[in-house]
Amino acid sequence: MFRKLFPLILLFLFAAGQEARSQSDTTNLAQLRTQSGVDPTRVVTKLVYSVWYYDRADDRSQINNRINFTLGVNRWSFSLKPELITRNDLSAGNAFQTKAGDLRFSVLNAFFVKGKHALAGAAEFTLPTGSEGFGNQYFSVNPSLTYAYTLDPSLFLAFQPQYTFDLSKAGFVPDLNVLTIRTFIAKFLQSGWFFVFEPRIVNDFENNQFDFIVAPIIGKSLGGGFNLTSVLEVPTKKETLDNRGLLVQFGITKNF
């Protein structure tokens, strides 16, 4: 299925490249870093629409349409993320079905920003509002801590451990007990392009599963506070690739 999506990815990059030619090469790198959304220690008010496509084994797929509204106040940010999910299972002869997914909201505080160093703490809550079969059946929280180190105005490294656990759950699902460690490096260009490489370790203690995921990210500032972003998440474990699927994500952001 990915080979069918490859022309779409090339079209996305070509369109962004054409836009790049029409822009000045004087993009403010600090502003680009903040508005890109890839650095959790930078607070901004924004509205994001994104499409998440999961390509799974046996002709199964899932499309998440997500809205993310983030309000930034000083060093605090508050986010609300509703989504609509479309699923199919062609191997079983099922048609596409579309229903509401779970509702997520988060709070973040960039409590230390000085020189080349920055720290931010956050907690994302997931409310089990999704329709049966489309939600996770957990009321859960995902606290995280991000450390970012600025190598130069165009380059930074970041390290972010997360721990997800349930506060309440449906009786038929196991406990939620997952540790995720994100490490990423981001490069910003004066032309408005930005590139991120993120290797991610995921350990599910409850189900005794370990995963390693690699995620390249490419984005482009369009000016006027608008960004385009594309993400590819590739699980390296076959079981995860078959069940969770390869993730291709496209998003457009308006910063305020």
- Selection from 91, 87, 116 nearest residue 100 by Cα: 87
* Rounded mean pLDDT, 193-205: 97
Question: What pLDDT, on the 0 to 100 scale, is given for residue 96?
Answer: 86
What pTM does this model have? 0.87
Question: What pLDDT, on the 0 to 100 scale, is given for residue 26?
Answer: 44
Question: What pLDDT, on the 0 to 100 scale, is given for residue 1?
Answer: 55
* Rounded mean pLDDT, 113-117: 96
* Rounded mean pLDDT, 227-242: 95
3-state helix, strand, coil in the chain (%, to 5): 15, 60, 25
Query: Which residue bears the tokens 């990210």?
Result: 217
pLDDT, tens digit (0-9, with 9 covering 90-100), for 116-166: 999 999 999 999 999 888 999 999 999 999 999 999 999 999 999 999 999
Show Cβ contacts of residue 6 under 8 Å, excluding neighbours closer than 6 positions. Answer: none
* Rounded mean pLDDT, 98-125: 97
* Rounded mean pLDDT, 168-193: 95
Fold of the domain built from segment(s) 2-255: Porin (2.40.160)
The SS3 of residue 24 is coil
pLDDT, tens digit (0-9, with 9 covering 90-100), for 19-70: 544 444 445 999 999 999 999 999 999 999 999 999 998 888 999 999 999 9
Question: What pLDDT, on the 0 to 100 scale, is given for residue 20?
Answer: 47
Residue pair 43/108 in contact by the 8 Å Cβ criterion: yes
* Rounded mean pLDDT, 190-200: 96
For residues 122 and 104, give the distance between their C-alpha atoms in angstroms, rounded to a whole number: 13
The ranges assigned to domains in the chain are: 2-255
- Selection from 86, 92, 102 nearest residue 137 by Cα: 102
197 forms bridges with which residues in the sheet?
Answer: 185, 216
| Lookup: tokens for 208 | 């005794």
Question: What pLDDT, on the 0 to 100 scale, is given for residue 31?
Answer: 94
Share of the chain above pLDDT 70, in %: 88
Dihedral angle, C-alpha 159, 160, 161, 167, nearest 10 °: 180
- Selection from 186, 233, 166, 178 nearest residue 207 by Cα: 178
Query: Which residue bears the tokens 């970012």?
Result: 148
**No. of H helices and E strands in the chain?**
3, 14
Share of the chain above pLDDT 90, in %: 78
The residue that leads in pLDDT, 12 or 134, is 134
Query: Which residue bears the tokens 């490490």?
Result: 183
Task: Return mean pLDDT, the chain.
Answer: 90
